[in-house]
Amino acid sequence: MNLFLLMARHGYALTFSLLLAEAIGLPFPAAIALVAAGAAVAAHTLWGPYVLLAAVTALLLGDTVQFWLGRYMGWLLLGFLCRVSINPETCILRSAESFYKRGKVTLVIAKFIPGVNTMAAPLAGSMKMRFWQFLRLDFAGALVYATTYLAVGYLSRDFLKAIGYYDSGAARIKGSIRIEPNNLEEELKNLSRDKDIYLYCT
């Protein structure tokens, strides 16, 4: 099913779940989810402050888990995360180099850097950073990251609609259902074959 359609139906839960999954190291499209959520906000399907709250909460929760696992498991956890990352060969080296060059401010920009985004929180934990200091910097990073991609989705709403995201605010006949054009074949399988079907466009 189209991600934008799913976002319109289950936006807050989907945003929270995908961002939490990425924050704990799973390869999920968190940035794409935020863009889709931003488009849904522009279409008045979701309310922006709730989406931002769900996103930042999920990122902080996942990063906090990673921080404490990094504190107690150290390089064992970092090695595992690198094995499941997109670039396992440069994973730890890039993250450690970023911390060395930029210091603790790395946590603010880490989510924008592939490879570093997954490693920053456990690396901070393994380096014995104070938890409250980590939380402040991580909160700033989560807020900047979520706001940026939500804004991209919000401003790109017309483009996204043109490639398949419908306007949920359009007028509808009572009792009608929407069919996503980019998923037409799958949608038709779910329609009843023993009833008359009337098609109209919005």
What local confidence, expressed as pLDDT, does residue 158 receive? 62
What local confidence, expressed as pLDDT, does residue 141 receive? 93
The first and second tokens of residue 47, run together, are 């309310």
* Rounded distance between C-alpha atoms, residue 37 and residue 31, angstroms: 10
Amino acid, res. 101: K
The answer to whether residue 201 is domain-embedded is no
- Are the CB atoms for 4 and 36 separated by under 8 Å? yes
What local confidence, expressed as pLDDT, does residue 165 receive? 47
Mapped onto helix, strand or coil, the DSSP state of residue 136 is helix
What local confidence, expressed as pLDDT, does residue 111 receive? 85
The answer to whether residue 135 is domain-embedded is yes
The answer to whether residue 38 is domain-embedded is yes
Supply the range of the domain harboring residue 48. 3-167
What local confidence, expressed as pLDDT, does residue 1 receive? 46
Domain count, the chain: 1
What local confidence, expressed as pLDDT, does residue 60 receive? 95
The answer to whether residue 49 is domain-embedded is yes
The answer to whether residue 7 is domain-embedded is yes
The answer to whether residue 189 is domain-embedded is no
What local confidence, expressed as pLDDT, does residue 148 receive? 95
Per-residue pLDDT 10s for the chain (202 aa) are 456 666 767 788 888 998 998 888 777 778 888 988 888 888 788 888 999 999 999 999 999 998 988 888 766 666 665 655 555 545 555 555 655 566 677 788 888 877 677 778 888 887 788 899 999 999 999 999 999 999 998 887 665 555 444 455 555 566 666 665 555 566 667 677 776 666 656 5
Mapped onto helix, strand or coil, the DSSP state of residue 25 is coil
The answer to whether residue 181 is domain-embedded is no
What local confidence, expressed as pLDDT, does residue 75 receive? 62
What local confidence, expressed as pLDDT, does residue 181 receive? 54
The first and second tokens of residue 108, run together, are 């603010």
The answer to whether residue 178 is domain-embedded is no
Please compute, for residue 127, the number of CA atoms within 13 A of its CA located in the half-sphere on the CB side: 16
